[in-house]
Amino acid sequence: MTQTEDKEKKRTSVERYLLKHEIEKLEAKRSHNMSTSLISLYIPPGTRLSDINSQLRDEYGTATNIKDKNTGKAVQAAISSIMSRMKNLSSPGENGLVIFCGITQSNKVEYFLINPPEQIGIKLYLCDYVFHINHLKEMLESKKRYGLAIVARGGATIATIQGSRLNIIREEDSYVPGKHKMGGQSQARFQRLTEEAAQRWYTKVAGMMNEAYLEDNPVEAIIIGGPALSKAQYLENKELDYRLREKVIGIYDVGYTGIVGIRELLDRAQSKLTDFELVRERLLTQKFMENLGKDTGLATYGEKQVRDALERGAVEVVLVSEDVDRVNLVIKCEACDYQKVESVRTKEYSDFVKELSSKKCPKCNEDKVHIDEEKDLITELNELAESSGASLEVISTSHEDGATLYGAFGGVAAILRYKLYEGY
Ligand SMILES: [Zn+2]
């Protein structure tokens, strides 16, 4: 296992979620007057912070020459803020550091420090009216990608698995006649013709796989499913690129083609796919549903019930659908005592903030409303879980089990350590 894989594995679904959420928030920030005064600073590991400090001092001086005096002052305010906070840092850490700072829509200097999940490969100092988050965003994508293929006489399904996502790339039927059907022809001739048709079909599938798994972004490994005979015949096909042949790490008996077959393959190949969130998430969700179905008393769902179980220390693991995430925002006005709490979905967060910046206070009509405080449901549940010795998994809705967790159970569920109620 390489070092990056190791690190990727250590990152929990909560950490990934929190970083994703943080990035969404940063993405919504703009400079207060749309000037190029927001600073994005990427510091790679091994950089001497004293070097960064002297660079910042230079930039501070250069900012005096900026034509627009307000922009110059805003840049200087951001630089001062960064420099004063950097005094408390001794080194950039093993992955480096990313700092974002500047006067945002809130009309205040905002400062964000991010410990990136992977090593920062670039050194960057940039002033713009937005924060530059693309390098961080790239880190969120799991890089490991496997090919999953169902190969049968009757059809083929070419798919990939990456992180928590399953992508069906191609699905095709073969029209190879069944083996035991008698055409109007003699048995021998019929068999020869169907065999030829089958070979042509496997050649076509080999081409489909070469295209899907080798071009652009090659997969790391391939898992093949199908009826016993088809797989063996297929792997002998000369059209299958030798590089793909070397990547096959598992062959399993699977009775179906299409998405049903791919799901069967995921179940059978579980032990080879433990690095993928998709497989971990499906296992946990299935365990929850199994307990619920068998009435063991060890499963509960609903925000209130799960909170209750957490407070009583009865939870082993909390399952939260990534689609339930809500952020509770405390909106305040600087000019008067106006205050309101709004609950916003993370996906709507960025639009909400943009809208807020153009809104006037409903009480005093000044444009001084801003977000004073924010906390999201997943962060809150995670803190509760941590304090009661439970773990929390964020479950994506990109697969069927995750979609069921969200759709049928409201997206908040838990597997319990012990029964909370007798006669459950
Ligand atoms: Zn007001």
Measure 31 CA to ligand 1 centroid, in angstroms. Answer: 21
Share of the chain above pLDDT 70, in %: 95
7, pLDDT greater than 60? no
Under the banding of pLDDT at 50, 70 and 90, the label for residue 11 is low
Tokens 């927001």 belong to which residue? 38
Checking 135-141 for CB contacts under 8 A at 24+ apart, the result is 135/42, 135/98, 136/19, 136/23, 136/98, 137/23, 139/19, 140/16, 140/19, 140/20, 140/23
State residue 1's pLDDT score.
38
C-alpha to C-alpha distance for 31 and 28, rounded to whole angstroms: 10
Q: For 114-166, how does the pLDDT look when each residue is reduced to its tens digit (9 = 90+)? A: 998 889 989 999 999 999 999 898 888 777 899 999 999 889 999 999 988 89
- Amino acid residing at 275: D
224, pLDDT greater than 80? yes
User: If you average pLDDT over residues 224-249, what whole number do you get?
Assistant: 84
Query: Are residues 171 and 155 in contact, defined by beta-carbon separation less than 8 angstroms?
Result: yes
DSSP assignment of 180-203 equals T---SS-HHHHHHHHHHHHHHHHH
For the ranges 1-10, 15-24, 242-251, which has the lowest average pLDDT?
A: 1-10
229, pLDDT greater than 80? no
Tokens 């191609």 belong to which residue? 170
C-alpha to C-alpha distance for 407 and 402, rounded to whole angstroms: 9
State residue 181's pLDDT score.
56
State residue 180's pLDDT score.
61
Tokens 């399904």 belong to which residue? 157
User: If you average pLDDT over residues 210-217, what whole number do you get?
Assistant: 89
Q: Please provide the CATH number assigned to the domain covering 145-274.
A: 3.30.420.60
User: If you average pLDDT over residues 20-36, what whole number do you get?
Assistant: 89
Measure 332 CA to ligand 1 centroid, in angstroms. Answer: 8
Task: Give CA 40 to chain center in angstroms.
Answer: 23
Measure 318 CA to ligand 1 centroid, in angstroms. Answer: 40
State residue 210's pLDDT score.
92
Outline where 258-417 has alpha helix (H). 258-268, 277-293, 303-311, 346-357, 377-387, 400-409
Class of domain 3-140: alpha beta
State residue 355's pLDDT score.
86
Q: Please provide the CATH number assigned to the domain covering 277-424.
A: 3.30.1330.30
DSSP assignment of 365-409 equals --S-EEEEEEEEHHHHHHHHHHHTT-EEEEE-SSSHHHHHHHHHH
Measure 337 CA to ligand 1 centroid, in angstroms. Answer: 6
Cβ contacts of 152 within 8 Å, gap of 6 or more: 174, 226, 227, 230, 257, 261
State residue 379's pLDDT score.
86
Measure 367 CA to ligand 1 centroid, in angstroms. Answer: 8
User: If you average pLDDT over residues 270-289, what whole number do you get?
Assistant: 91
Burial 40-64 (b: 16+ CB within 10 A, else e): bbbbbeebeeeebeeebeebbeebe
Assigned token pair, 338: 């106006």
Q: For 372-405, how does the pLDDT look when each residue is reduced to its tens digit (9 = 90+)? A: 888 888 888 999 999 999 999 999 888 889 999 9
Residues carrying CATH 3.30.420.60, the chain: 145-274
Q: Which of 68, 66, 76 is nearest to 102 (CA)?
A: 76
State residue 6's pLDDT score.
42
C-alpha to C-alpha distance for 387 and 376, rounded to whole angstroms: 17
Measure 330 CA to ligand 1 centroid, in angstroms. Answer: 14
Measure 344 CA to ligand 1 centroid, in angstroms. Answer: 21
Measure 372 CA to ligand 1 centroid, in angstroms. Answer: 13
User: If you average pLDDT over residues 319-347, what whole number do you get?
Assistant: 87
Assigned token pair, 129: 């009216």
State residue 182's pLDDT score.
56
Q: Structure pTM? A: 0.71
Measure 380 CA to ligand 1 centroid, in angstroms. Answer: 29
Report the SS3 class of residue 331: strand
Measure 357 CA to ligand 1 centroid, in angstroms. Answer: 13
Measure 368 CA to ligand 1 centroid, in angstroms. Answer: 7
**Run of H or E residues at 233:** helix 228-235
5, pLDDT greater than 80? no
Under the banding of pLDDT at 50, 70 and 90, the label for residue 2 is very low
Under the banding of pLDDT at 50, 70 and 90, the label for residue 101 is very high
State residue 36's pLDDT score.
93
State residue 4's pLDDT score.
43
Report the SS3 class of residue 91: coil
Measure 38 CA to ligand 1 centroid, in angstroms. Answer: 26
Measure 333 CA to ligand 1 centroid, in angstroms. Answer: 5
State residue 310's pLDDT score.
95
Residues carrying CATH 3.30.960.10, the chain: 3-140
Measure 16 CA to ligand 1 centroid, in angstroms. Answer: 37
Residues carrying CATH 3.30.1330.30, the chain: 277-424
Report the mean per-residue pLDDT for the chain: 88
In the chain, the largest separation of any two C-alpha atoms, in whole Å, equals: 93
